[in-house]
A and B are shown apart, each in its own frame.
Chain A
């Protein structure tokens, strides 16, 4: 079994587009979307049969039992997140602002404050005869965590057979969710973009991935939008000995086919470019 994780640091570089084309090209049977704050892979995934849905719980939040509350306001004074509001003669906790620290529970002389489970999102597993796709969706105001990413990956773990190729669309950024998404993968493919902000994000994500001794490959998407910066990315990769696996042009056809929910035509220019990136990537792990 080989696992390829696709990351970019910066959003909008074409991570999901590449992931979906990799799935088409390789006929991969197992894939996952760990970009749970803005999941998109399910929109083009061919596996439509929702098999399992499970709540994802974040940290518990606090709630005040109005029957026992003496309205002393001690909780209000101690809350550092301004999550306790006094309205209509009652102290209440704004669940959007509560971080679940438990200070109010502790200071309440009446013990009128307790924890309640907080549903921060849901885990979704799609399955048909021989394919499986795992993803999750976060609720508004909730943040991604290493825990949720690990759960998304665990959902497909038992389904992976020996020769499967697993493709994972990773979260943006370089934080804890990204690190969690790296566990067990054979290679990280980074999708770079030739812009000043894209380059600085690329360097940060390379640093994170190398600290885990992971094999790294880099492709440049929309390379023709700025050939000068594309050249400087390639030079940077060469100097530092990172595998460069290809260039993909900015081509409206790629987006058109995604919007239609269809795979790119074999033999078309974008297909050939992505296929080359795919072949080069696979050759690094076989």
Chain B
């Protein structure tokens, strides 16, 4: 089963839920698709293997270039410019569409591979850990997410995907192959508004969903929202200073008997949906 963990914004406890859920499931995989801020590794410490992720970017042969400017005019992302007497490539802006190479009248453009980040893999106890990391200054990590999703297609174990926040294209890429989505929200009017955004996204892609309320209170606004939309509430995590402190230090709280039970319960509820 492939389970995506989503939230409308950062800081609601998405990584907290993903890490602990994956940890209590036997033989599971934890997959971090939040490539701009991959924090799962802070919890699953270990030796990771690294596999580069590459995109194709143009290379200009300045000897044959006639400075006609067609490539720079064509590029809708402004990744090429004529600076004084040379065409320069700004690889961070390049979307690898291949257009410049097509329009060059003198075949002065070829392509080369450029590293934009990596996919790291490790084992933590009996859990398979996969984490995508986007290099600082790169604009989009969708390619890394696509490669991760391709990779986990062959996994036999249950997979928990820690998604990027929001409802942008990288979230869409992350939930493509999932069977179930967990939406994590805090009971504030901000939390509710952001939950509504991701809820809308999961509906467009026709996903089965459930809600986890972090820092829950009795009959709070997230609870009310879930009831009104008939969405299952999978778990309510009450605010707990000790739990917050352990988590902020990068510890897996479900290692403690005290907290393990609530995540066991969550795992059981979700895995039951497999049948």
Contact = CB atoms under 8 A, between A and B. Distances in A.
Complex: A in contact with B (CB within 8 Å):
yes
Q: Which of A103, A106, A142, A225 has the most CB of B within 10 A?
A: A103
B37 interface: yes
Given A12-B11, A225-B241, A258 B166 contact: no
A38 B196 CA distance: 11
Most buried by B among A40, A81, A193, A258: A40
A229 B248 contact: yes
B252 to A, nearest CB: 14
A142 B249 CA distance: 34
Interface stretch (B46-54, B119-127, B185-193, B262-270): B185-193
Contacts of A69: none
Interface string A1-41: 00000000011110010000000000000000000011010
Contacts, number: 120
Interface in B86-116: 95-99, 102-103
A141 interface: yes
B201 A106 contact: no
A270 interface: no
Interface residues of A, number: 47
Interface stretch (B24-32, B58-66, B167-175): B167-175
Contact of A225 (B194, B204, B245): B245
A70 interface: no
Please classify how large the interface on chain B is, using the bins under 10, 10 to 19, 20 to 34, 35 or more. Answer: 35 or more
A226 B245 contact: yes
Interface stretch (A93-101, A122-130, A154-162, A238-246): A93-101
A196 B189 contact: no
A101 B76 contact: yes
Contact of B102 (A100, A106, A143, A172): A106
A263 to B, nearest CB: 14
8 contacts: A38-B166, A101-B97, A102-B74, A102-B99, A173-B36, A194-B248, A258-B189, A258-B190
Interface of A: 10-13, 16, 37-38, 40, 43-44, 59, 78, 80-81, 96, 99-103, 106-107, 138, 140-143, 172-173, 175-176, 193-198, 201, 204, 225-226, 229, 252, 255, 258-259, 261
Nearest first, the 5 A-B pairs at minimum CB distance are: A12-B11, A11-B10, A101-B97, A195-B248, A38-B9
